[in-house]
């Protein structure tokens, strides 16, 4: 196996509290040494002067669309997009067709990820059979399968029945798994197209009130307290939800939360032109909510930045706003949006950004050897130029879909190399396709 010496980069690893200008030596697929002035005459040298060298990014929330909608995305194309974006692990959401609600399906997704071998594909399991919110899925069977499912969710829908939520938490508690919620009370959100507020009245679109998210977040926090189950709140988007999480954490409730790049970058002002690319669930919120998301990420109330990468076919997304499905791509823009919107303006340090994008999600998911540059760990890492400017061109995405509201936007920060198990999956900003075989 090849040996690589990444020279003279700024090595940032929150997991080992490392932040130094130095070198990383990769041998036999693992990180063999981190420090200044390393030498190895057999190694291929990668000059990282001016670049940041960090643990590979970990996305807690990715829709891979396979099985079922391979026309929109496959495990292979999502993995390639993830590698291009600096990721070395992605958590596959279960709302596929068939739904990831049994050991057979999660094992299939896991095996397809292994076959592609560009990132670690970590399948999440559904809480309910067919995501119907009625009968509990085979949670224990999925947890004990070789896919070792640790995160369970009906994402795409919130669990509407409080008793079902309680029972699922009690059950998951037995094997220290995570109950993850898409917080949305359907009775309040039904038919909604965008955030409810002044702008929804002005645009004449039906609104989704913040309370649709906050009521379910409050219920789940109460149930997590009751059951002792680990709770993870997906894509939180309102100032009220963030305050609930802040208080719950202060009380010692085992709750974690994630937010998406689009919720810290855009507001409902982006909907003025009725562009279906801006339609997403939860919806883009008010400026005060966007500011609260940034504050939550800065003070650690929000643990992780997750993409909610949601590919959609062009013919479905590109129609009248009210008919377009919600969701947008995230894997290939998340790091640059974080650097542009959070690090450049001084809200987060580079180390905090890496913590939210890599170390924290890896820790929450309990992934072995991800989210750290600790010598001896598998060499999963990213090298990026934090100052490089580039313009988002959806045509250049590795993802199979094109639905992004960021087309044409100039961002700061570009991935030059990604390593997965000590092998470059991205070299000089190009995905290494030989890695596919």
Which residues belong to the active site?
308
What residues contact residue 180 under an 8 Å CB cut-off, 6+ apart? 124, 151, 152, 153, 155, 231, 232, 233, 234
For Zn ion, give the closer residue by CB, 305 or 339: 305
Query: Other CB atoms closer than 10 Å to residue 64's CB: what's the count?
Result: 31
Instruction: Identify the residue whose tokens are 């919120």.
Output: 285
Instruction: Name the strand (E) or helix (H) holding 420.
Output: strand 410-420
Q: Shortest distance, CB of residue 289 to Zn ion, whole angstroms?
A: 16
**Coil, helix or strand for 411?**
strand
Q: Which residues bind Zn ion (CB under 5 A)?
A: 155, 182, 308
For Zn ion, give the closer residue by CB, 155 or 289: 155
Strand pairing report for 4-13 and 304-305: unpaired
Q: Shortest distance, CB of residue 391 to Zn ion, whole angstroms?
A: 27
Q: Write down how long the chain is.
A: 437
For Zn ion, give the closer residue by CB, 155 or 303: 155
- Separation CA 12–CA 26 (nearest Å): 16
Query: Other CB atoms closer than 10 Å to residue 146's CB: what's the count?
Result: 9
Instruction: Identify the residue whose tokens are 């990468």.
Output: 309
Q: Shortest distance, CB of residue 308 to Zn ion, whole angstroms?
A: 4
Q: Shortest distance, CB of residue 182 to Zn ion, whole angstroms?
A: 4
Contact at 8 Å (CB) between 390 and 332?
no
For Zn ion, give the closer residue by CB, 72 or 308: 308
For Zn ion, give the closer residue by CB, 5 or 233: 233
Q: Exposed, middle or buried, 37 (CB in 10 Å: 0-12/13-18/19+)?
A: exposed
Residue 52, CA atoms < 13 Å, CB-side half-sphere? 26
The residue number with the shortest CB distance to Zn ion is 182
Q: Shortest distance, CB of residue 282 to Zn ion, whole angstroms?
A: 7
**Coil, helix or strand for 184?**
coil
Q: Spell out where 225-288 has E strands.
A: 230-233, 255-259
Q: Shortest distance, CB of residue 306 to Zn ion, whole angstroms?
A: 9
- Separation CA 220–CA 162 (nearest Å): 8
- Separation CA 364–CA 321 (nearest Å): 36
For Zn ion, give the closer residue by CB, 324 or 383: 324
């Amino acid at each position: 196996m090849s040996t690589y010496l990444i020279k003279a980069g700024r090595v940032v690893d929150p997991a080992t509290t490392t932040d130094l200008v130095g070198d990383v030596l990769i041998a036999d697929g693992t990180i063999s040494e981190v420090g200044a002035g390393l030498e190895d005459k057999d190694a291929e040298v990668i000059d990282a002067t001016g670049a940041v060298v960090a643990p590979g990014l970990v996305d807690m929330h990715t829709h891979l669309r396979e099985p079922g909608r391979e026309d929109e995305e496959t495990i292979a194309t999502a993995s390639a997009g993830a590698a291009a974006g600096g990721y070395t692990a992605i958590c596959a959401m279960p709302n596929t067709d068939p739904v990831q609600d049994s050991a057979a399906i999660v094992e299939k997704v896991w095996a397809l990820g292994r076959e592609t071998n560009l990132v670690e594909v970590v399948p999440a399991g559904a809480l309910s059979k067919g995501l119907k919110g009625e009968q509990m899925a085979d949670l224990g069977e999925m947890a004990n399968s070789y896919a070792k499912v640790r995160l369970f969710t009906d994402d795409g829908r919130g669990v509407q029945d409080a008793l079902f939520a309680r029972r699922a938490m009690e059950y998951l508690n037995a094997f220290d798994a995570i109950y993850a919620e898409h917080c949305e009370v359907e009775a309040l959100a039904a038919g909604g197209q965008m955030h409810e507020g002044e702008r929804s009245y002005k645009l004449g679109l039906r609104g989704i009130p913040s309370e649709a998210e906050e009521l379910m977040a409050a219920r789940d926090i109460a149930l997590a307290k009751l059951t002792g189950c680990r709770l993870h709140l997906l894509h939180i988007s309102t100032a009220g939800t963030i305050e609930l999480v802040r208080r719950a954490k202060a009380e010692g409730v085992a709750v974690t939360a994630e937010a998406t790049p689009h919720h810290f970058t855009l507001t409902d002002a982006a909907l003025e032109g009725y562009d279906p690319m801006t339609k997403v669930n939860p919806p883009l919120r008010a400026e005060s909510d966007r500011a609260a998301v940034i504050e939550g990420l800065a003070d650690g109330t929000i643990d992780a930045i997750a993409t909610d990468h949601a590919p959609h076919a062009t013919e479905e997304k590109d129609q009248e706003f009210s008919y377009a499905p919600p969701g947008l791509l995230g894997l290939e823009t998340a790091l640059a949006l974080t650097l542009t919107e959070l690090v450049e303006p001084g809200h987060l340090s580079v180390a905090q950004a890496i913590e939210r994008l890599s170390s924290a999600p890896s820790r929450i998911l309990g992934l072995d050897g991800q989210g750290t540059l600790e010598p001896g760990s598998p060499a999963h890492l990213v090298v990026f130029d934090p100052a490089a400017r580039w313009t988002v061109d959806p045509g250049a995405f590795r993802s199979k879909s094109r639905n992004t509201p960021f087309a044409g936007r100039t961002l700061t920060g570009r991935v030059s190399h990604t390593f997965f198990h000590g092998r470059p999956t991205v070299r000089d900003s190009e995905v290494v396709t030989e890695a596919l075989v």
